[in-house]
Amino acid sequence: MQTINFKELTISEKIMKAVDDMGFEEATPIQTQSIPYLLKGTDIIGQAQTGTGKTAAFGIPLLEKISPNKKDLQAMVICPTRELAIQVSDEIKKLSKYMNRINVLPVYGGQPISRQIHALRKGVQVVVGTPGRLMDHMRRGTIDVSHINMVVLDEADEMLNMGFREDIETILKDTPSERQTAMFSATLPKPILQIAKKYLKDYKILRVAHKELTVPKIMQSYIEVKQRNKFELLTRLIDINNPNLSLVFCNTKRRVDEIVQELQGRGYFADGLHGDLKQSQRDRVMNSFRNGVIEILVATDVAARGIDVDDVEIVFNYDVPQDEEYYVHRIGRTGRAGREGQAITFAFGKEVYKLKAIERYAKTKIKREKMPSINDVEEARFNGLVQQVGQIVENENIRKETHMIEKLLEEDYSTLDIAAALLKMVMGESKQESKKTDTAIKENGSEPGMARLFINIGKKQGVRPGDVVGAIAGETGMPGDLIGSIDIFDKYTFVEVPIKHADKVLRIMGRNTIKGQPIQIEPAAAK
């Protein structure tokens, strides 16, 4: 499997910028293969499993070929269902975010046709629709196909299964024969090849070829969980298993940043690794991980390639990987050097199918597990405490404490009461611990609503207020006018930022420079 950076594909700046906003770091294998051919104008059949990024594989070249100045309909994507038409249309809209005057419209049955006709009249360059509704519009003349230069059949096998063969052939017959045609499909049954022979020109079949990979013998499981509950699940699993070192894999840079921020906000020792970081920053994060300063490393596949740490106990797949091979690479980060390891994958909806494909490819078994409950978390903590108690009773001198308890007993409490009360105090403690970072940030002598931060460079290093505002606003994306007072001393600087941005500023600026100098930044000590 070979993948490349989007920058190596000849993609225009505007689309590159949108791809970056979407958090994509590297093109997936099917994108790596398809995009250059489609840009050249070659017809293709692209075969790849679900969830491998096929939409952008055709969406990017499709957009590259649109003339925004022309109002004519220039590209048509045919999808099997209304949901897919909406999804594909949304993804193409995101990709075209920085291109002016591009209109993308989904059309499907079940929505009043008059509304679609109204939208079409305004000039739509890309239409994404189900076969029946597309034909309907073509018959009515509300879709004019005469300027179409690209037609994409998405999920072609699915459309054939649903009995759309005739409709598809009609559409292909009625669109200009000079058009470019692309078919995407998870499988390549005979009818697909027959259609290709009839309607595609000198087409290339692109498949994602895989190396045979050995899957490490580790415990693999998956848990079905909705996107919005994934973070809660992650923290529960971390609390239950209490791994010394763990890795969390995500599919996008943006997700890495989000999770790191949330984990840090809850008091976990976590940091992130992705392609936007400079080499020196990556080295710093990796060193902290190796030394155990960071216990949870959140990373994208690309960034994780260099990771070489032996005692990772758990690999979490926060997102199901884009490619089967990635899965094997990811879980190979644990269970090294003969240690036990486990891999837990979070999956929802169609991601579960993707996992089944991974199971087949990797010839491995990924066992389904249930979402652990809050009770499970408490039980795990309780068991940990019981172990600790046993160790202390056996190995430590607790004579002084025994006397103290004896005194309490004289006050007419039972040993059970006392033990239970102490347990409550101990069990309640870790919740407060997670609030620690909050209070550290809040109560440090700043204006109300603001957090005062300390930075270890000042006048001696030539720092001026503009440098501080510029660096913070530039790196964190927080508007500069939200930054409060800035006090610059000889060797250090205080700056106030809104409390709700403080975590982010600390995290991002901790890896950045001011006036080219690496800095340390932390909540200021209370005045």
Question: β-strand 204-207 against 246-250: which pairing, if any?
Answer: unpaired
Cα 361 to Cα 210: distance, rounded to the nearest angstrom: 9
Q: Out of 33, 55, 89, 180, which residue is the one contacting ligand ADP (CB under 6 A)?
A: 55
The CB-of-400 to ligand ADP minimum distance in angstroms stands at 58
Stretch that binds ligand ADP, among 49-57, 130-138, 491-499, 516-524 (CB under 6 A): 49-57
The CB-of-252 to ligand ADP minimum distance in angstroms stands at 5
The CB-of-295 to Mg ion minimum distance in angstroms stands at 37
507 binds Mg ion (CB under 5 A): no
Stretch that binds ligand ADP, among 53-61, 113-121, 416-424, 461-469 (CB under 6 A): 53-61
Q: Out of 11, 25, 43, 54, which residue is the one contacting Mg ion (CB under 5 A)?
A: 54
124 binds ligand ADP (CB under 6 A): no
214 binds ligand ADP (CB under 6 A): no
Half-sphere exposure of 205 (CA within 13 A, CB side): 12
251 binds ligand ADP (CB under 6 A): yes
252 binds ligand ADP (CB under 6 A): yes
Q: What b/e readout covers 478-501, taking b as 16+ CB neighbours within 10 angstroms? A: beeebbbebebeeebbbbbbbeeb
Q: Specify the residue, 84 or 478, whose C-beta has the smaller distance to Mg ion.
A: 84
The CB-of-48 to ligand ADP minimum distance in angstroms stands at 6
The CB-of-436 to ligand ADP minimum distance in angstroms stands at 35
Helices (H), 242-315: 253-265, 279-290, 301-304
Q: Residue 261: name the closest of 231, 286, 282, 238 by CA.
A: 231
List the single partner that 52 binds among ligand ADP, Mg ion, none, CB under 5 to 8 Å by kind: ligand ADP
51 binds ligand ADP (CB under 6 A): yes
Q: Out of 5, 12, 50, 391, which residue is the one contacting ligand ADP (CB under 6 A)?
A: 50
Contact 115, 133 (CB under 8 A): no
Question: What mask of x and - would describe binding to ligand ADP in positions 29 to 48, judged by CB under 6 A?
Answer: --x----------------x
Q: Specify the residue, 50 or 485, whose C-beta has the smaller distance to ligand ADP.
A: 50
| Helix pair angle (465-476, 499-509), 10° resolution | 90
List Cβ<8 Å contacts ≥24 apart for 58-62. Answer: 58/34, 58/152, 58/154, 58/182, 58/184, 59/88, 59/91, 59/92, 59/95, 60/9, 60/11, 60/15, 60/19, 60/31, 60/35, 60/95, 61/34, 61/35, 62/38, 62/92, 62/126, 62/150, 62/152
Q: Residue 334: name the closest of 325, 344, 343, 321 by CA.
A: 343
Q: Specify the residue, 27 or 260, whose C-beta has the smaller distance to Mg ion.
A: 27
Cα 120 to Cα 106: distance, rounded to the nearest angstrom: 10
- In Å, what is the CA distance from 341 to each residue of 64, 216, 262, 297? 45, 9, 25, 16
Question: What mask of x and - would describe binding to ligand ADP in positions 450 to 479, judged by CB under 6 A?
Answer: ------------------------------
In the sheet that 75-78 helps form, which strands lie side by side, from edge to edge?
104-107, 126-129, 75-78, 150-153, 180-185, 44-47, 204-207
Contact 1, 325 (CB under 8 A): yes
Structure tokens at 176: 């200009």
Largest CA distance in the chain: 97
Structure tokens at 257: 């940043």
Q: Out of 27, 38, 245, 457, which residue is the one contacting ligand ADP (CB under 6 A)?
A: 27
Stretch that binds ligand ADP, among 54-62, 130-138, 373-381, 508-516 (CB under 6 A): 54-62
List the single partner that 27 binds among Mg ion, ligand ADP, none, CB under 5 to 8 Å by kind: ligand ADP
Contact 96, 18 (CB under 8 A): yes
Q: Specify the residue, 348 or 413, whose C-beta has the smaller distance to ligand ADP.
A: 348
Stretch that binds Mg ion, among 49-57, 163-171, 239-247, 405-413 (CB under 5 A): 49-57
253 binds ligand ADP (CB under 6 A): no
Q: Can you tell me which residue has the tokens 């594989």?
A: 57
What residues contact 83, with CB distance under 8 A and at least 6 apart?
none
Stretch that binds ligand ADP, among 27-35, 62-70, 72-80, 443-451 (CB under 6 A): 27-35
List the single partner that 51 binds among Mg ion, ligand ADP, none, CB under 5 to 8 Å by kind: ligand ADP
- Per CB under 6 A, contacts with ligand ADP among 192-211 are none
Residues that bind Mg ion (CB under 5 A): 54
Residues that bind ligand ADP (CB under 6 A): 24, 27-28, 31, 48, 50-56, 251-252, 322
